[in-house]
Structure 1
């Protein structure tokens, strides 16, 4: 009789480990897929930038400093390759800073474009600006989805008794995207 009790206990523990481990794998793959979507949207933005810069270049050739800053920020952001397995708070902060620099440089580029009525009316510029705006929205959605997946994963990693399995098999918490510095204040619009 005692033998069957021990076999039952071992079976329950084995099933617990099996289910918990596979749950972590599923949740981690969810985080990895969400991260891939974030990277895809940032890549889409990076792909649009050269077209936007070239369109502005034709109208505002003397704005070379701003055009150079956009190109430089894009190159810096593209040089940071961060896979889902390398997500640490420090590496994510570095990635976010590079993307914030791109966003800032693009803002300056759009401001320069506002000074050129012919450029503002150019169909290519209007279309690229619209695509860029749509991409920024997609980036926001992808970041939110990533944070949702990371939250579900992190909750599972921290909950007892599954935290014992997580520690045993090396499932660590994932960092979140955070608001970029300076976004807590609304921009001032002046006419």
Structure 2
């Protein structure tokens, strides 16, 4: 009877861990998706800058502007797009006809809308991080998170892109180790139950 109860308890704990693991994995995926959306927002800014840069270089007798490249590092894109916008603004101030061009007005409007878009994506990312960090700090999730190697996720920091990129959620080695131990424990309990029944016979 005791062996059966122990076996049932192990099965319950196994089910509980799987359920909590799936929840944490879901939150982890949402954080990664939110970070990817931040990068997409900066890629859109690069596209906006490059589109106007192309118009300036093609139609105007102005200083040639450099086209920007898309990168997986949003810090690089943020820095380069900011510098490009400053250069375009300075160029527009030097040439009144460029500043008066309707395309320049549309460019500024698009940049402004993109800044709002980027801000919203950052807020979404931080919200997902808050949900995840709150989840792994609560009992009993904190024990599951510790055993499976889930660590706190970093909030958005434009000066520490590496930490955001390195966040992966669970520790594969911790999961593998726990699975091996759990399997061994289940086998051991099953053997004890079988031996118990054999003795009764």
Matching residue within 138, 142, 152 for 1:163: 142
Q: Name the counterpart of 2:13.
A: 13
What is the Cα deviation at residue 139 of structure 1?
A: 0.8
2:85 aligned with 1:106: yes
Aligned residues, how many? Answer: 158
What is the alpha-carbon distance in structure 1 between the residues aligned to residue 83 and residue 14 of structure 2? 52
Which secondary structure does the structure 2 equivalent of 1:114 belong to? helix
The two structures have a TM-score, normalised by structure 1, of 0.69
- Extract unaligned runs of 5+ from structure 1: 83-94, 181-191
- Show CA shifts across 1:20-72 (max 9, x none): 1011111011112212221221111111222111233344613x4xx34xx3x
The two structures have a TM-score, normalised by structure 2, of 0.66
RMSD across aligned C-alpha pairs, in angstroms? 2.5
2:81 aligned with 1:81: no
2:112 aligned with 1:133: yes
2:34 aligned with 1:34: yes
Q: Name the counterpart of 1:149.
A: 128
Query: After the TM superposition, which residues 166-185 of structure 1 pair with which residues of structure 2 at under 5 Å, given as runs?
Result: 166-178=145-157
Q: Name the counterpart of 1:61.
A: 62
Query: After the TM superposition, which residues 44-55 of structure 1 pair with which residues of structure 2 at under 5 Å, given as runs?
Result: 44-55=44-55
- Extract unaligned runs of 5+ from structure 2: 160-201
Per the alignment, do residues 32 and 170 of structure 1 end up closer, same or farther by CA in structure 2, a change over 3 Å counting?
same
**Structure with the greater alpha carbon radius of gyration:** 2
